[in-house]
Amino acid sequence: MGQARPAVEPRDQGEDHLHASASYSGTRACHKPAPASGDGAPPVLVIAGPTASGKSGLAIELADAFSGTIVNADSLQVYRDLRVLTARPDSAAEQRAVHRLYGFLDAGERGSVADWRRLALDEIATVTAAGRLPILVGGTGLYIRAIEKGLAPVPEIPEELRREAAELHLVLGGAAFRERLRRLDPCGARRLAPGDRQRLVRRAYEVVRATGVPLATWQRRPHSPSPYRFVMILLAPPRDRLYAVCDTRFAQMMAAGALAEAAALAARALDPNLPAMKAVGLPELLRHLRGEMALTDAIAAAQRATRQYAKRQMTWFRHQAAPDLQLNEPFCEDLLRCTRRFVDECVLTR
């Protein structure tokens, strides 16, 4: 039998970094992370992880303890029409801590990572200037990477070209659409693995069609990193436990009005290719409302989609993130105390 993961996994920073004496399940709790942007850079605490891993609850506890302001880093919680289906913090949570960049876009709008990054940097600057701790919370890995590392300077893609790409992909199918991309951008087509999501394929097509320059060329151009020191806590609960929470939480969403939320969106007859209309669980409920699926089947399909989404997020963070502290178990008072000490000694103390 393999060895169980410790509840807390500190990032290995070498002997030059501080080791806290707090421990949980026999493991050392924290190492002081190396600054990302110089010794004098203001800190930003990042709480990342898959859906249903407990990010929002931890963020509120730490905001209480350290005069923090919570800044959203979830690409779907930006939509005001999706409070229930995206598990956006409720009014009680918003009363306990200041929340920013939640529910500020209409479902008919198309949010972008570039727009979000600009707004998030403005919020972080305001929070820092007020002497508070910015706490960036979310499971959208691209957003978290973009705010820390910067974005490739790809021009904005016209909306009509986005629609053209979506319609062409629908008409041609996946294989033929990839062949169309290969003619325009052979290197880009080769870089995309067969299992890559169609959204990535469409993105490569959109960029080369709009600019005449392959996406990889844009990505090699200099980025503009943020002037902050980012410290990441990654929530990574065991998969079976996470999946069980995903199922339970979707059932709770149904009790909280998810179907009514879906019906309100259906009544607006929005473009199904809009990001909000692809929120996890929404397509399945819309199929039920159109009479294509029984409600019990729609719920089961939505729960399955949620588990698959959580799996993709876990895979992304496992391969793309370098957390300074990884938490592998649900919260208890000891683990919360350890995490508070990590923030005090590894984020705030310079």
Indicate whether 237 and 124 sit together in one domain: yes
Same domain flag for 240 and 134: yes
Which helix or strand (DSSP H or E) is residue 45 part of?
A: strand 43-48
Residues 38 and 87 in one domain: yes
Per-residue pLDDT of 1-48, as tens digits, reads 444 455 656 554 432 332 333 333 333 334 444 444 445 899 999 999
**DSSP labels for 226-292?**
-SSEEEEEEE---HHHHHHHHHHHHHHHHHTTHHHHHHHHHHTT--TTSGGGG-TTHHHHHHHHTTS
CATH of the domain at 126: 3.40.50.300
Q: List the domain range (segments joined by +) for residue 89.
A: 34-151+225-245+308-323
Lowest mean pLDDT among 113-117, 143-147, 215-219, 283-287: 215-219
In a domain, 29, yes or no: no
The reply to whether 233 and 130 lie within a common domain is yes
Same domain, 199 and 231: no
pLDDT 10s digits, 44-95: 999 999 999 999 999 999 999 999 999 999 999 999 999 999 999 999 999 9
Do 108 and 235 fall within a single domain?
yes
Instruction: Read off the tokens for 226.
Output: 């943020």
In this structure, the answer to whether residues 46 and 184 fall within a common structural domain is no
Q: Which of 203, 220, 237 is the last residue of a domain?
A: 220
Same domain, 199 and 77: no
Check whether residue 112 and residue 127 sit in a common domain.
yes
CATH number for position 187: 1.10.20.140
User: Is the separation of the CB atoms in 217 and 154 below 8 Å?
Assistant: no
pLDDT in tens, 299-313: 999 999 999 999 999
- Paired strand residues for 48: 138, 234
